Amino acid sequence: MALVLLALLVLLGAGVLVLQRQRRRAAQRARQQQSRERTLFDLRLGDIVQAEAADWVVEDRLLYDQDGFQWLEYLLRDGGRSRWLVVCEDDWLEVSWLETVSLVPPPPLPPPAELSWQGGTYQLKEQGTATVTASHRRMNQHLGRCRFADYSGPGGRVLGLEIWSQPGGSPADAEIEVTAGRVIDPRSLTLLPGDGRSVYRSATG
């Protein structure tokens, strides 16, 4: 009888140990899964943004800082196509989906109060100067300062100017980058963790 009771106690103890191990493993898997989850604020090189029925790969992450106010711009690529995912949080979260475009003729400087593009009229919403730093580049991470001008158009359309100039350079030598797109619902995006590596840059590039 004593041997039977001892055997039962041993089996019960073994069962408790197995159950504890299973719970620890489940908790560890949950922590690992949580650590791999992505948000719009911590996308990394190689992560995937599913949008427009395509898988866009994060290739760069730019941090803009305007006297302490910050926002993010992610460079996304799908084959030969590229997009900019802009994440700005102030009183509320605003997410924009942009692509690089050309304005013909080029916009005048300083940025005007109103711009026309593809039949729409865009009103100047905000402008200023920001310091820009890239996270996912091996070289030239500090891109310097640029002047920006953000415009809003009909139906949630947006247009942005970035004016880059060399210190001491003349306005005529400034490089103007133009992006256009729309404000989107962040819930329309699916964010997936990648392997932390670039898809479109060589291992040595």
pLDDT tens, residue by residue, 58-116: 999 999 999 999 999 999 999 999 999 999 998 899 999 999 999 988 899 999 999 99
Predicted local distance difference test score (pLDDT) of residue 34: 40
Domain boundaries, the chain: 1-36, 48-192
Q: Please tell me the predicted confidence (pLDDT) of residue 200.
A: 75
pLDDT of residue 197: 83
33 phi, psi to nearest 5 deg: -65, -40
User: What pLDDT was estimated at residue 22?
Assistant: 58
Strand, coil or helix: what is 140? coil
Residues with pLDDT less than 50, the chain: 26-35, 203-205
Tokens of 106: 């080029």
> CA dihedral defined by 50, 52, 57, 60, rounded to 10 degrees?
-110
Nearest-angstrom CA–CA distance, 97 and 157: 10
pLDDT at 27: 41
pLDDT of residue 142: 80
| DSSP structural state of residue 196 | S
- Model pLDDT, residue 187: 95
